[in-house]
Amino acid sequence: MTEEQESDTPNKSSWYKTWWGIVIIVFGVLVIFGAAIGDEGENTTQPQQTEDSKATPTKTVSETITVSFEKLTEDDDNLVQGQTQVAQEGINGVTELTFEVSGSERTKIAEKVLTAPQDEITRVGTKVQPIELSGSGQQASQKFTLGEGLSIFRMTHSGQSNFIIGLLDSSGQRIEGLVNEIGPFEGSQALGIDTPGEFVLDVQAGGNWNVKIDQPRPTSAPATPKTLSGRGQQASEFIEIDSGLTTFKMTHSGQSNFIVSLLDSDGQRVEGLVNEIGPFDGSKATGISSSGIYILDIQADGDWSIAID
CA torsion 216-221-222-228 (nearest 10°) is 20
pLDDT of residue 5: 47
Are 291 and 270 in contact by the 8 Å Cβ rule? The answer is no
Check residue 190 and give left, alpha or beta (phi > 0: left; psi -120 to 50: alpha). Answer: beta
The pLDDT of residue 303: 97
pLDDT at 1: 46
pTM for the predicted model, two decimal places? 0.66
Q: Is the dihedral of CA 233, 263, 293, 75 positive or negative?
A: negative
Q: How far is CA 257 from the centre of its chain?
A: 45
pLDDT in tens, 161-182: 999 999 999 999 999 999 999 9
Question: How far is 298 from 292, CA to CA, in rounded Å?
Answer: 20
How far is 273 from 261, CA to CA, in rounded Å? 6
Q: What gap in Å lies between CA 243 and CA 291, rounded to an integer?
A: 4
Question: How many CB atoms lie under 10 A from the CB of residue 263?
Answer: 20
Q: What are phi and psi of 266, to 5 degrees?
A: -95, 0
Q: Closest by alpha carbon to 190, among 265, 289, 277?
A: 265
Name all domains of the chain by residue range, CATH numbers in brackets: 58-126 (2.20.230.10), 128-217 (2.60.120.380), 218-309 (2.60.120.380)
Is residue 29 very low, low, confident or very high in pLDDT (cuts 50, 70, 90)?
Answer: low
Question: What pLDDT is stored for residue 214 in this prediction?
Answer: 94
Q: Average pLDDT over the chain, rounded to whole?
A: 88
What are the angstrom distances between the C-alpha of 16 and each of 11, 25, 148, 213? Answer: 9, 14, 130, 139
Q: Which helix (H) or strand (E) holds 160?
A: none
| Interatomic CA distance for residues 164 and 180, integer angstroms | 4
Q: Quick: pLDDT tens for 73-111.
A: 998 878 877 889 999 999 999 999 999 999 889 999 999
Residue 79: what pLDDT? 85
Q: How far is CA 182 from the centre of its chain?
A: 50
pLDDT > 90 in the chain, percent: 75
> Does position 8 have pLDDT exceeding 70, yes or no?
no
Separation CA 226–CA 41 (nearest Å)? 99
The amino acid sitting at 22 is I
